[in-house]
Amino acid sequence: MRRLVITGMGAICALGHDAPSTWKAMAEGRSGIGPIHHILPGQLRNGGIAAEVNDFDPANYFDESRLNQLDPVSQYALVAAREAIRQSGLTFEGERAARTAVVVGTGVGGETTRDDQYEKLYGEHAGRFHPLGIIRMMMNAPASQISMVHGITGPAFALASACSSSNHAFAQAAMMIRAGLVDAAVVGGTEACITLGTLRAWEAMRVLAPDTCRPFSSGRRGIVLGEGAGMFVLETLEQAQARGANILAELTGTGMSSDAGDIAAPSELGAATAIANALRDAEMSPSEVDYVNAHGTGTIANDSTETRAIHRVFGEHARALAISSTKPMHGHALGAAGALEMIAVIGALRDGIVPPTLGYLGPDPACDLDYVPNEARQMPVHAAISNSFAFGGLNAVVAVRRMP
């Protein structure tokens, strides 16, 4: 089987506009959650907090002719992809352009454009829609824009499985490379969901926290939305070594499952099956795993269910695991969540620092494992998994290992 390695990563989120600053904030336990700047006070019932991308001027990254085509969901993807490709040193001339894929996960796509245009259409009775509205809103826009900017002519497409979108993108890219269809992929996730319409819809589900996100903690009250993108260059070990690339980590396996149960309530068995499938695909025993980047949304149901799933798969080793959720720092970025969390996993592998679970007030009897509360921990991390469990019962887990 072809071995797969990550040779480039890029990020933009509430913690920073690149991967190094994002990881530095994670390792230091700094939160990007705060008041929402572009929504008026009183428009939201839950206090109006999120993990926004702040101080971002797209004109510094894109010329006017291209910017007119780009919803923020594509802007973020392009910024992160540019960084990842630059770090990898991969170029796309000749056959390599056709032997590279682009796979991008997103939960809601061009929501900013959709929200703005619908407000004009229904609220202001505008006579016409933005002429580029469709190409800004469509779910595949980020993948298409990346392929066009970088001249990548291999398979390029979007994946939408709510909060598991990024990890499903990793799985799809890995399968294509292993099958020999391509030799590399630009892969990750992007989301720009901090809009009034999206937030009001989440409010209606009564899962938004009014103060902050507190995964696995007593007193947790729900999720806090975030936005941004994480993008990576995934390629064969053989190709990476042949061109002298700096290898960040080895992607050893992926696991997927479907609960086939409730549309919103998580399943212990479904989550455990995805974790076990990832370990099996990676040919990794549970005892080899040092760190779990948990889905850890901060809801009562998710965190207790994920804890039981970890117990089910890891047995006694579950109590030796360092487990953390980084969502109290970058927010729950829906389709981009797994991609931003991969920044944390690679940082833990490379620097021996496990980022903390912020906002932890004390143990909950239903969550009885080591969640690295409030402060980062220095420890060697040789292997890790990253969990994503989505509405619709769609689960995807990625396993990675530190390269010697």
Which ranges constitute the DSSP H helices of 205-289?
237-242, 268-282
Active site residue 193: no
The per-residue b/e assignment along 91-108, b for 16 or more CB within 10 angstroms, e otherwise, is: ebeeebeebbbbbbbbbb
Decide if 8 contacts 85 (C-beta within 8 A).
yes
- For residue 208, what are the β-bridge partners? 223
- What Rg do the C-alpha atoms of the chain give, in angstroms? 20
Concatenate the DSSP letters of all residues of 110-163 into one string. Answer: SHHHHHHHHIIIIIS--SS--TTHHHHHSTTHHHHHHHHHHT--S-EEEE-BTB
Q: Please provide the size of the chain in residues.
A: 404
Catalytic residue among 13, 150, 163, 168: 163
CB proximity list for 263: less than 8 A, separation 6 or greater:
391, 392, 393
- Angstrom CA distances, 304 to 39, 297, 359, stand at 33, 11, 17
- Angstrom CA distances, 309 to 152, 295, 387, stand at 39, 12, 11
Catalytic residue among 213, 295, 330, 367: 295
150/360 Cα distance (integer angstroms): 42
Active site residue 17: no
Active site residue 168: no
Query: What are the catalytic residues?
Result: 163, 295, 332
